Amino acid sequence: MSALARRLSAALFVVFLAGAMLPASAETELERGAYLVRVVAACGNCHTPKGPDGRDLPGMELAGMSPFDSREQWDTHSPNVTPDPETGIGTWTDEEIMRAIRDGVRPDGSIIGPPMPFVLYRELSDSDTRAIVAYLRQLPAVRNEVPASVYRVPLPPAYGPPVASVPDVDPDDILARGAYLAGPVAHCIECHSPMGEHGPDIEHRLNEGGFTFTGPWGVSVSANITPGALERWSDEEIAAMITTGVRPDGSRMAPPMPYGYYAGMSNDDLDAIIAWLRHPTAR
């Protein structure tokens, strides 16, 4: 949800390039996981601690961010999801990590609260969730104890029935793939839908913008990305804004959109997202 734009490392660029050149069927599970975590899902935008300049701290990938997001409803800290056995998720099984990602339930049965977008993550496919777990498993274990989040609103007993099995999206259905990438994976629709009584109003005001973010940069408000609002820009201009944070007139957009992560997105995935954003179902 909240996030800060990042630069890409030279080593990560190699991973990105491999992901862009290989068809999905040729990717290994680890390559797919790296592409999801470090590009489209931009997990480090929320789980990697930042320095005073807003950049990721070296050697701390996904070691947790504290503080993370403070609002009237809560003061949150994003957890350490490296394999450290004491301060991270090193003792969790693959199945427990998958359950935490999609169901929002820790191994001890406690509920994980916002801003993790569990309503969307419930739709992550089995194969993509396993790929994410595979990537998390190979991270260097970082000892970094993060405080527990404090909620001033009651958390739900569950975000829905236990997720059973979610199939892959048809890679040849560009609209379905775009909806999947902009929804469960990158959760664009969450940050770009205005707040309702129980969170972003995806059901009634999808992609209308108006979500307010406060950070070191000041205050920013998410843009309206409904089909009508995007008519003034070409596909190429939208792709450039997603991956660079620079508008066609040269002005720079504010965080927390993770432009640095999205810079590694494949052309096929960008095309799918833009195709869906232009479709009537995206409003």
Report whether pLDDT(216) > 50: yes
Predicted confidence band at 13 (pLDDT cuts at 50, 70, 90)? very low
Neighbours of 126 (CB within 10 A): 15
CA distance 65 to 56: 10
Report whether pLDDT(23) > 70: no
Contact 39, 262 (CB under 8 A): yes
Find tokens 């892959």 and name the residue.
168
- Residue 64 included in any domain: yes
Locate 102 and state its tokens.
């999609």
User: Before 167, cis peptide (omega within 30)?
Assistant: no
What is the domain range of residue 106? 10-282
Locate 158 and state its tokens.
């569950």
From residue 257, alpha-carbon distances to 96, 97, 222 in Å are 29, 26, 9
pLDDT, tens only, 158-172: 999 999 999 999 999
In this prediction, residue 15 carries a pLDDT of 35
- Residue 226 included in any domain: yes
- Residue 41 included in any domain: yes
The Cα angle at residue 271 between residues 259 and 172, in degrees rounded to 5: 130
- Residue 90 included in any domain: yes
pLDDT, tens only, 133-185: 999 999 999 999 999 999 999 999 999 999 999 999 999 999 999 999 999 99
Contact 273, 178 (CB under 8 A): yes
- Residue 3 included in any domain: no
Q: In 3D, which of 259, 237, 262, 261 has the Cα closest to residue 247? A: 237
- Residue 1 included in any domain: no
CA distance 161 to 171: 27
Based on the structure, what is the number of domains in the chain?
A: 1
CA distance 183 to 22: 23
Radius of gyration for the alpha carbons in the chain, expressed in angstroms and rounded: 18
| Overall pTM > 0.75 | yes
- Residue 4 included in any domain: no
